[in-house]
Chains A and B, each alone.
Chain A
Amino acid sequence: MTGDRVAVVGAGMTKFVRRAQETPKELSWEAAHLALQSCEMTIDDVDAVVIGTAPDAFDGVHMKSEYLSDGCGGWGKPLIRGYVGGGTGVFAAIQGWYHVASGLFDTVLVVCEEKMSSCQPHPQAAFLTIFDHTTERPLKPNLLWIFALEMNAYMNRYGLSKRDIATVSVKNKRNAADHPAALLGDPDITVEDVLNSPVLAWPVQRLDVSPVTDGAVALVMSANHVARRVTDRPVWVEGVGWNLDTAYWTNRDLSYPVYVEEAARMAYDMAGISEPRQQIHIAEPYDPFDYKELHHLEGLMLFDRGEAPRAAADGITQRDGDLPVCPSGGLLGVGNPIAAAGLMKVAEIFWQLRGEAGARQVPGNPKRGLAQAWGDLMQVGTVVVMGV
């Protein structure tokens, strides 16, 4: 890896909820404050701030990061906002990494926030304008259409059933029952519940989808010499990668996320990983829909194409399986405040590798994990590999 070694030394998050009373600034402050407290640092120890937050329309505030800046600890400091749609949460950690690895800053506070309940009648409405204004929008598409077309392409390519995919939703919502900040944890949910939930746009049913959520997450990232001073358990960023496919979703292979593979190859190369299936012990792939977890596991080369559903059915991705996947409960269970949800995945790897995940802790002292998110116009992959 190039540059200085960079570690995550602290993390904090708010509860993920359906409707927060807190303002977006107050949510950001709570997460950032908890992250600093977790490593006994103060705002004076922070040299720069990275903000990750998704469309301005969610919080209903244009130039949202400027609005959020004081809640993120950015007053009087260098501050930047990165934005790659749903991929933002993991990309914010990548930005935190290069701010420090470049040698420019010793310690960076990374804060991701989303308050989707502000967006009425539904945050879906903010997505209606992402489609091409000439060739698509006159047809009145919504975001579910893309997912439904992609899920159907994936299922048909590999002969998968709805039942094969519903197991992911069940696993993640059950895992989330052990997460103190989760919105939709449910220890008793079954595959039948998912299969009997309302059809939104076939094959997508309600319980295949993550919920609208408010919340914030923050990380503290430090250079080697600071990390070793503030903690005896730094979690090192070993590799980062991101990659973008064509913006024309009609020109992509919807059954396979090649952009995730390219992002993963970049991160694996940096981390010196040649056999990801042996060298990655725990994974938090992006799971806004249940099939996306499987899709992304294949893009991350952790399973062969079309094989992730069988691995899930065999229990390999359970918290006590050979490759625990989304032990946090993921977006399907903990919730999906877009940018905050991605950073929650990085925080989960941090807590798991330090053995601090409580009831969610995976067995076997994992040494290396990855977090991945996906977004923009459904064509960006962002990957962070971390190890101890």
Chain B
Amino acid sequence: MSLLHRIERADDALNWHGDMPTKGRYTAGIAGERFFREIKERGQFLATVCLDCDITYMPPRLYCEECFSQLEEWAEVGSWGHVHTFTVVHRDLDNEPLSEPRILAFVTLDDTDGGLVHYLAEIEPEDVYLGMRVEAVLKAEDERQGSITDIEYFRPM
């Protein structure tokens, strides 16, 4: 068998399995900590604002990507906006059909220059359209953990 000979079955050649046994432990960071704590404790969305560049960052950043200055101006913003684009997911990572297709959307939030990617629910996939008005549905206060999943999904307004 030459080196270029295709292996028809995995066990035609000697082989063994290995993995990279690492796990990630991430922090939300300086800006992210405040953003998620505010959602957890008050259900309030916050953005940071660069007054010089006239950019309102959602999710909030510590620094302005454009002028690179530190952002110290925080603004309370609404947890609603419109669907910028969306997809309907039919299969899971193992290529198994989902029992219910899930709608994933990029939601542009009002009064900001950004938004969040999240699920849409309380609507059928065929009824979703670009520009549709949507709002965040938060978990109950005692179930919130300071994570993006404190938002259960967005729904039509």
Chain A residues numbered 114-149 whose CB sits less than 8 Å from any CB in chain B = 117-121, 125-126, 128-129, 133, 137-138
Q: Are A29 and B22 in contact (CB under 8 A)?
A: no
Give the nearest-CB partner of B69 in chain A.
A33
Contact yes or no, A26 B62, CB < 8 A: yes
Nearest CB of chain B from residue A193's CB, rounded to whole Å: 30
Beyond A22-B30, A23-B28, A23-B29, is A121–B65 a contact (Cβ under 8 Å)? Answer: no
- Asked if B66 lies at the interface with its beta carbon under 8 angstroms from chain A, I say yes
User: In this complex, what residue of B is CB-closest to A122?
Assistant: B22
Q: Are B33 and A42 closer than 8 Å at their CB atoms?
A: no
Q: Is A338 an interface residue (CB 8 A)?
A: no
Please indicate the chain A residues that have their CB under 8 angstroms from the CB of B18 in the complex: 129, 133, 137
A187 to B32, CA, bound (A): 37
A128 CA / B19 CA spacing, docked (Å): 9
> What is the 8 Å Cβ interface bit string for chain B, positions 20-59, against chain A (1 contact, 0 not)?
1111111111111100000000000000000000000000
- Docked Cα-Cα span, A32 to B63, in Å, equals 11
Contact B29 A22 (CB under 8 A): yes
Contacts A23-B32, A26-B31, A42-B68 known; A71 to B63 CB distance under 8 Å?
yes
Interface of B is mostly: loop
Inter-chain CA distance A136–B68, complex, in Å, is 46
The yes or no answer to A70 lying at the interface (CB within 8 A) is yes
User: Does B70 sit within 8 A of A, measured CB to CB?
Assistant: yes
Digitize A72-88: 1 where CB-to-B-CB distance is under 8 Å, 0 elsewhere.
Answer: 01011000000000000
From A33, A117, A119, A126, contact of B63 by CB (8 A)? A33
Interface centre among B27, B30, B32, B67 (most CB of A within 10 A): B27
**CB-contact partner of B20 in A22, A29, A76, A126, under 8 A:** A126
User: Taking CB as reference atom, which chain B residue is nearest A44?
Assistant: B67
The complex places the Cα of A26 from the Cα of B67 at a distance, in Å, of: 15
Q: Are A120 and B20 in contact (CB under 8 A)?
A: no
Please determine whether A120 and B16 come into contact, CB atoms closer than 8 angstroms: no
* Cβ–Cβ contact B32 & A125, under 8 A: no
CB distance from A337 to the nearest CB of B (A): 15
The residue on A at minimum CB distance from B21 is A125
Instruction: Give the distance in Å from the alpha carbon of A127 to the alpha carbon of B63 in the complex.
Output: 33
Chain A interface category by residue count: 20 to 34
Among A23, A76, A125, the residue within 8 A (CB) of B22 is A125
> Is the CB–CB distance between B25 and A42 below 8 Å?
no
In contact, A120 and B68 (Cβ under 8 angstroms): no
Residue of A nearest to B63 (CB): A29
The contact of B29 among A25, A61, A75, A117, by CB within 8 Å, is: A25
A36 to B27, CA, bound (A): 26
Q: Does A21 contact B (CB under 8 A)?
A: yes
> Across the two chains, which residue of chain B brings its CB closest to A126?
B22
Find B70's partner among A25, A33, A36, A44 (CB 8 Å cutoff).
Answer: A33
The answer to whether B68 and A117 have CB atoms under 8 Å apart is no
Q: Are B24 and A119 in contact (CB under 8 A)?
A: yes
- Given that A120-B23, A126-B20, A128-B21 are contacting pairs, would A70 and B32 also be in contact in the complex, using a CB cutoff of 8 Å? no
Q: Do the beta carbons of B68 and A36 come within 8 Å of each other?
A: yes
A133 surroundings in chain B (CB, below 8 A): 18
CB–CB A60/B24 < 8 A: yes
Contact between chains at B27 and A23 (CB < 8 Å): yes
CA separation between A73 and B68, bound complex, in Å?
A: 7
B22 and A120 form a contact (CB under 8 A): yes
B25–A117 contact, CB under 8 A?
yes
A270 at the B interface (CB under 8 A): no
Chain A contacts for B23, CB-based, 8 A: 60, 120-121
Q: Which residues does chain B contribute within 8 Å of A71, judged by CB atoms?
A: 63
Are A21 and B20 in touch, CB under 8 angstroms?
no
Residues of A within 8 A of B29 (CB): 21-23, 25-26
Contact with B along A25-64 (1 / 0, CB 8 A): 1100100110010000011100000000000010011000
Interface pair A32/B24, CB less than 8 Å apart: no
Q: Is the CB of B22 within 8 A of A119?
A: yes
Q: Which residues of A contact B24 (CB under 8 A)?
A: 60-61, 118-120
Closest to B25 in A: A120
Cβ of A311 within 8 Å of any chain B Cβ, yes or no, is no
Q: How far is the CB of B34 from chain A (nearest CB, A)?
A: 11
Instruction: Give CA–CA (A126, B22) in the complex, Å.
Output: 6
Interface centre among A20, A43, A73, A138 (most CB of B within 10 A): A43
Judge whether B68 and A33 touch: CB under 8 Å. yes
How far does the alpha carbon of A382 sit from the alpha carbon of B63 in the complex, in Å? 32
Give the residue name and chain of the B residue nearest to A137 (CB).
B18
Contacting residues, chain B, for A138 (C-beta < 8 A):
16
CA distance A36 to B68 in the complex (A): 10
Top 6 nearest A-B pairs (CB, nearest first) are: A60-B24, A23-B29, A43-B68, A70-B65, A120-B23, A125-B22
Q: 21 A-B residue contacts at CB 8 Å? A: A21-B27, A21-B30, A21-B33, A22-B27, A23-B26, A23-B29, A26-B30, A26-B62, A33-B68, A43-B67, A43-B68, A44-B67, A61-B24, A70-B65, A76-B66, A117-B25, A118-B24, A118-B25, A125-B20, A125-B22, A126-B20
> Which B residues have a C-beta under 8 Å from some C-beta of A?
16, 18, 20-33, 61-63, 65-68, 70
